[in-house]
Structure 1
Amino acid sequence: MKYKLIAIDMDGTLLNSQNQVSERNMKALEEAKNKGVQVVISTGRILQSALHYSEILDLKNPIVACNGAVIIDEFSKILYEKPLYKESVLNIINLAEEKNIYYHFYDSDTFYAKTFNKEVMKYYEANKSNLSKQQINFKMLDNPTETIKNSDLKVYKFVFIDDNKDKLVEFRDSLNKIKGINVSSSWSNNIEVMGENVSKGEGLNQLCQILNIKPEEVIAIGDNENDISMFNFAGLAVAMKNGDEIIRDHTNFTTDTNDNDGVAKVIEKFILK
């Protein structure tokens, strides 16, 4: 099979534990691109962050960001977007505040929150210069509900964080009763919410229709629950060795870890061989 597109998750996949792309991974991406393969970052991250890494890697290819809520082409033109409905956003905020669980949400380049918890603030302080380079903003909102009601803000994704797993499970059960949303996760202590039918898999579907690429011509590489939809779409679904056990039943090949050039080893085996 000649693969024409490779969709690659970022955290825990393309990026190593230091949030960097290894030399071997960079070399493999470049060689795949030179063979005419579309190298597509497919991430839950905010669009501006994905764009930053794409520019560093000089990919000049489309990007699937916010778990598929927005897709841009190589010129940063929006090809597809599906933000959350305003009513859904308001219902989500009300539920989060009722359950006293931390949340933030984002559009293409700004994180919005009522408060930032210790984990987020620690991340922000440690990565302030990097976030500035990525042109990502953090904005505090006194009253998120009123902001949403009185603006045309496009909310692509919510993130909820809590180390109490029982609380997260209960909260996820409550979220599932809200209409017009899709719920996922990318880490053991978080929940992600996008618009209805929004996922990395649907994002890839939309992109492949635009590019006239068949599912069987796609490789998808990832490490967590929010990658399952693109595993189910792609002809070759690849799990990272460091990935969550939840993905194993949805993949047909396992590569090395993100700290041992797992992405490069997939590209070398299935594209550059």
Structure 2
Amino acid sequence: MNAIFKSVDHIYANREVIKNFVYPISKDEMVSFTENCSIDLFRKQKIYKILGLYNHNEMELNELIDNFDMTKAFYAGKGFELTHHSANKGNAIKLYCLKNNISIKDSYMFGDDVNDETMFSLGGNNMVMENASETIKKYATAICERCENDGVGKMIEKIVKGEIYD
């Protein structure tokens, strides 16, 4: 399988994936190259994230989901991202707010993709980028300009100035 498997302290991948990977992975991060990133190789590892880049099918995805207690954070014809079922932005925001005694209703969350859906479903102030899909835009409290146009920064300025109300 052409995928990158990430555990807490290891990244495993085959050379073909690394060669075609969009983001650079340093030698310090890369612990193990393997020519065959098969599910069997990782059954005993505590894998929390799997990035698949191409040449996958729905059956392989379902097997990964079943074997590693994963959920789809992203899926498209050219790639996928699977994360541990409890490792998502929604759970991270809930934990942060709880530990810091902050109401989710008083929080501002920024995002543009399906991996932001768990966060946006919490009901806080959802700042959605204008290039987001309609699936994500339905959660919007406000629409930000694109990241390329400094949309997050511009929206933060509006929030600080009191121009955006919850």
TM-score range, shorter chain: 0.7 to 0.9
Cα offset, 1:201, TM superposition: 0.4
- The whole-number CA distance in structure 1 between the counterparts of 2:114 and 2:84 is 17
2:66 alignment counterpart: 178
Indicate if the aligned counterparts of 1:172 and 1:191 stay in contact, CA closer than 8 A.
Answer: no
2:146 alignment partner, SS class: coil
Please state if 1:263 is matched with 2:152.
yes
Please state if 1:244 is matched with 2:133.
yes
2:71 alignment partner, SS class: strand
Q: CA RMSD in A?
A: 3.0
Cα offset, 1:195, TM superposition: 1.8
- When residues 157 and 233 of structure 1 are mapped into structure 2, their CA distance, relative to the original with a 3 A threshold, is same
2:20 alignment counterpart: 119
2:51 alignment counterpart: 159
- Note the alpha carbon deviations across 1:106-143, whole angstroms, 9 max, x for none: 134542113433521xx36xx46xx46xx533521356
Cα offset, 1:221, TM superposition: 0.4
Q: Which runs of structure 1 show a deviation greater than 6 angstroms over 4 or more consecutive aligned residues?
A: none
Q: Which has the higher contact order (CA 8 A, sep 6+)?
A: 1
- The whole-number CA distance in structure 1 between the counterparts of 2:94 and 2:103 is 9
Cα offset, 1:187, TM superposition: 6.7
Count of residues paired in the alignment = 158
1:212 alignment counterpart: 101
TM-score, structure 2 as length reference: 0.76
How high is the sequence identity, in percent, across the aligned residues? 24
TM-score, structure 1 as length reference: 0.49
Higher helix share: 1
Q: Which runs of 5+ in 1 are unaligned?
A: 1-96
1:137 alignment counterpart: 30
1:199 alignment counterpart: 88
